[in-house]
Chain A
Amino acid sequence: MQSKRTVFPHRVLPYLLLLPQMAITVVFFLWPAGETAWSSVLREDPFGLKSSFVWFENYVRLARDPNYLGSFGTTAIFAASTAVVSIGVALILALAVDRTIRSASIYTTLIVWPYAVAPAVAGVLWWFMFNPTIGILTYLIRGTGYDWNHLLHSTDAMILVVLAASWKQVSYNFLFFVAGLQSIPMSLKEAAAIDGAGPLKRFWTIVFPLLSPTTFFLLVVNVVYAMFDTFGIIDATTAGGPGGATNILVYKVYQDGFVGLNLGSSAAQSVILMVIVIALTVVQFRYIERKVEY
């Protein structure tokens, strides 16, 4: 490739052009992140009248708190289940749409709809359907003899939040899979078919490997979604209960900081979350983007 270097005579101009983006990053990311890091080493009363520097006491407390450590496990289960369910369902739907010809666009439109639903609304929707007292699905499930009650049973609660969170994310995954499927050359599939490979065989040996970049990308995006964007769903369905069974890390930040007004601890938890996001981003860019064949 031939590279043409364009030399700009101005020395200041590039910086000026960068400035708006830099300003946004500083104001909306670096500044608040810095403030958070600073409050995580303080102990403060809710009104901000008195504060004292306590070094890493907030972090030490967290490390010793079995509930905080438990929340890590809860988050891992929640994120993994949400990712698997939403990616799995989206893939099946995308494959189905890929086979239909006439009505594909209608299906696509319908499947994408849930993505436009606000998390809190999605949460309330599922809360209603599974409500132990008035929920229609609860009524049906109880007809089969299972006593569904997500206010008491932690497994039920986890299933509920995973369902609600996945339902919203299926649309997003679906779109990527549809696009991914369309980019797989028809000739490959036809060649395999002529060689006598059945639909399942064709899927596992041709389609799925060729979709792997999309799948990996979605895996990271879904894990990030489940860990950080599901606050509204948790708040509207289980509020972290029962007994902290669905109290994922990001919800605990809210509960301790905004409900409990324990700002130091909440800030320390945010810093830990920030580290996790940075780690996930590094994983995505460093390893997945490189190793996966696009």
Chain B
Amino acid sequence: MLHAKLTAGLIGVAALLTSTTATLAATEITFWHAMGAELGKKLEQIVDGYNKSQSTYHVTPVFKGTYPEAMNGAIAAFRAHQQPDIVQVFEVGTGTMMAAKGAVYPVYQLMKDTGNEWDPKQFLPAVVGYYTDTDGNMLSFPFNSSTPILYYNKDEFQKAGLDPNTPPKTWEDLVNDSKKLMSSGAAKCGFTSGWITWIQTENFSAWHNVPIGTEQNGFGGLDAELKLNGPLQVRHWDNLKKWSDAGIFEYGGPVGGDDAPPKFYSGECAIYMNSSGSRAAVLQNSKFNVGFGFLPYYGDVKGAPQNTIIGGATLWVLQGHTPEEYKGVADFFKYLSTPAVQADWHQFSGYLPITQAAYDLGQQQGYYAKNPGSDVAIKEITLNPPTENSKGLRFGNYTQIRTIEDEEFQNLLSGKKTAQQALDSVVQRGDDLLRQFQSANQ
């Protein structure tokens, strides 16, 4: 027993020694991320490219699971003083990260302190707007931003006698197309969707220019209240329930909707709404011709379509490391925002190009002409100048509020509640969490 412990101790010491010798050679920077599968491999390639481009710093990417797992892991690590230099946090965690002054190192500050020239104007306003404070300072680095788009099965559209080059524009179109797809036997169900919360509720609201909450969807202050139970949202949830009963819509499950992608890949459902960042996976997994389109809107709603809002994640820098490491982080971020790296990542993954230069580069390369549909996301998010209702959202405790949205949506589908009751309950339970967050952060 003692012997075993001694050996373990010695191995530990040896490991420590080797790691210190490694840091002597290059400053070690840890980067926790939540990119799995195809995206994870690509991310590691990019980091590898950075490590090979210079020898002063060495970035180690560590896959930490899902978005909530990566974020919560980093927070737990921070409490134990073991935090990474960089952590990838999804957009829903933005409210929590922003409120954590003293734990995060704002990117604009980091760039200033390390003497790097950093022009926030090089980034697309629709992307950066989400991650800046009220004074317009950029707080985190928008690495992978996405927005929901519509994917559809062109082969099945053809079979049903629909024009394979015309995606449904409005919800009315979508329902009519679905009925044709189903009655002709081309598909078993009309459509499915990932992220009921993000796509069918939050983006739905922005796309129709109606608010999600007061205080400009939470941008204005911690005293914001939810307004998800407006007449339009109720109408949409009510329709989803009706469509679900009629078999037009198939529910893919809570959170990201794990069961939605297989329904689309297998041809069961002909239309599918999900993040533009799912593009790589969609192209890889579907054995049919895929079409791309804007999210549908209700034709009778004035001001629709407005513009969609951002999802995906940004990179946050955490406090408590050496200035030398922060220099490396700044250098790494500069590398990540170079047009070549950005364009590569964007074209591979379907995430938005975050800089104007990366978008321009893609155009010069003729990428968008060669890959129709690859610019749907960017067109959608920049369709109109954002209004108070379509800038995004910023609420504390929002991960939990999303869980509530999922629960209430399930209550709606199982017939336990009407759309109005379900959304009223979301607002009531959500506001309670918002008040708790407000009192914990004042």
Q: Which residues of A contact B (CB under 8 A)?
A: 43-50, 52, 67, 131-134, 151-154, 239, 241-245, 255-256, 258-262
Among B68, B99, B414, contact of A153 (Cβ-Cβ < 8 Å): B414
Question: B75 at interface (Cβ–Cβ under 8 A)?
Answer: yes
Interface 1/0 per residue, B352-392 and A, CB below 8 Å: 00000000000000000000000000000000000000000
Beta-carbon contact of B259 and A151 below 8 Å: yes
In the complex, the number of residue pairs spanning A and B with C-beta atoms less than 8 Å apart equals 92
User: Which residues from A are CB-within-8-Å of B33?
Assistant: none
Question: Nearest chain B CB to A159's CB is how many angstroms away?
Answer: 14
User: Which residues from A are CB-within-8-Å of B263?
Assistant: 133
Beta-carbon contact of B259 and A46 below 8 Å: no
Among B79, B96, B403, B429, contact of A255 (Cβ-Cβ < 8 Å): B403
Query: A131-B259, A242-B413, A243-B408 given as contacts; is B440 within 8 A of A43 (CB)?
Result: yes
Question: B406 at interface (Cβ–Cβ under 8 A)?
Answer: yes
User: Which residues from B are CB-within-8-Å of A50?
Assistant: 440-441
22 residue pairs of the A-B complex, CB under 8 angstroms, read A43-B439, A44-B440, A45-B441, A46-B96, A49-B100, A50-B441, A132-B259, A133-B262, A133-B263, A133-B266, A151-B254, A152-B251, A152-B414, A154-B414, A239-B254, A241-B407, A242-B413, A243-B414, A243-B416, A260-B433, A261-B397, A261-B399
Closest to B400 in A: A260
User: Which residues from B are CB-within-8-Å of A242?
Assistant: 254, 407, 410-411, 413-414
Question: Nearest chain A CB to B23's CB is how many angstroms away?
Answer: 26
Interfacial residues of chain B within 314-359, with CB under 8 A of chain A in the complex: none
Query: A133-B263, A262-B400 given as contacts; is B103 within 8 A of A47 (CB)?
Result: yes
Beta-carbon contact of A241 and B410 below 8 Å: yes
Interface size class of B (residues with CB under 8 A): 35 or more
Among A49, A154, A239, contact of B103 (Cβ-Cβ < 8 Å): A49
User: Which residues from A are CB-within-8-Å of B96?
Assistant: 46, 261
Closest to A49 in B: B102
User: Which residues from B are CB-within-8-Å of A49?
Assistant: 100-103
Docked Cα-Cα span, A245 to B417, in Å, equals: 14
List 13 additional A-B contacts (Cβ < 8 Å) besides A154-B414, A259-B399, A260-B403. Answer: A44-B440, A49-B102, A133-B266, A151-B259, A152-B251, A242-B407, A242-B411, A242-B413, A258-B72, A259-B403, A260-B397, A261-B397, A262-B436
Docked Cα-Cα span, A245 to B254, in Å, equals: 13
Beta-carbon contact of A262 and B397 below 8 Å: yes
Question: B78 at interface (Cβ–Cβ under 8 A)?
Answer: yes
User: Which residues from B are CB-within-8-Å of A154?
Assistant: 414
User: Which residues from A are CB-within-8-Å of B251?
Assistant: 151-152
User: Which residues from A are CB-within-8-Å of B399?
Assistant: 259-261
Docked Cα-Cα span, A45 to B397, in Å, equals: 10
Interface 1/0 per residue, B4-47 and A, CB below 8 Å: 00000000000000000000000000000000000000000000
Closest to A255 in B: B403
User: Which residues from A are CB-within-8-Å of B78?
Assistant: 47-48
Top 3 A-B residue pairs of the complex, sorted by shortest distance between their CB atoms: A260-B400, A242-B410, A243-B410
Docked Cα-Cα span, A46 to B429, in Å, equals: 20
Question: Nearest chain B CB to A270's CB is how many angstroms away?
Answer: 16
- Interface residues of chain B: helix, strand, loop or mixed (majority): helix
User: Which residues from A are CB-within-8-Å of B408?
Assistant: 243
User: Which residues from A are CB-within-8-Å of B100?
Assistant: 45-47, 49
Interface core residue of B101, B403, B406 (most chain A CB under 10 Å)? B403
Closest to A45 in B: B440
Question: B255 at interface (Cβ–Cβ under 8 A)?
Answer: yes
User: Which residues from A are CB-within-8-Å of B414?
Assistant: 152-154, 242-243
User: Which residues from B are CB-within-8-Å of A243?
Assistant: 407-408, 410-411, 414, 416
User: Which residues from A are CB-within-8-Å of B101?
Assistant: 49
Question: B424 at interface (Cβ–Cβ under 8 A)?
Answer: no
Docked Cα-Cα span, A67 to B400, in Å, equals: 13
Question: Nearest chain A CB to B425's CB is how many angstroms away?
Answer: 10
User: Which residues from A are CB-within-8-Å of B254?
Assistant: 151, 239, 241-242
Docked Cα-Cα span, A41 to B72, in Å, equals: 22
Interface core residue of A131, A133, A256, A262 (most chain B CB under 10 Å)? A133
Beta-carbon contact of A45 and B99 below 8 Å: yes
Docked Cα-Cα span, A243 to B412, in Å, equals: 9
Beta-carbon contact of A151 and B400 below 8 Å: no
User: Which residues from B are CB-within-8-Å of A239?
Assistant: 254-255
User: Which residues from A are CB-within-8-Å of B440?
Assistant: 43-45, 50, 52
Docked Cα-Cα span, A131 to B261, in Å, equals: 13
User: Which residues from B are CB-within-8-Å of A258?
Assistant: 72
Question: B268 at interface (Cβ–Cβ under 8 A)?
Answer: yes
Question: B125 at interface (Cβ–Cβ under 8 A)?
Answer: no
Docked Cα-Cα span, A50 to B103, in Å, equals: 11
Closest to A155 in B: B414
Docked Cα-Cα span, A132 to B254, in Å, equals: 14
Question: Nearest chain A CB to B183's CB is how many angstroms away?
Answer: 20
Beta-carbon contact of A46 and B255 below 8 Å: no
Interface 1/0 per residue, B93-110 and A, CB below 8 Å: 000100111110000000
Beta-carbon contact of B102 and A46 below 8 Å: no
Docked Cα-Cα span, A147 to B439, in Å, equals: 46
Beta-carbon contact of B413 and A152 below 8 Å: yes
Beta-carbon contact of B72 and A261 below 8 Å: yes
Docked Cα-Cα span, A182 to B433, in Å, equals: 56
Among B407, B410, B433, B441, contact of A151 (Cβ-Cβ < 8 Å): B410
Beta-carbon contact of B400 and A259 below 8 Å: yes
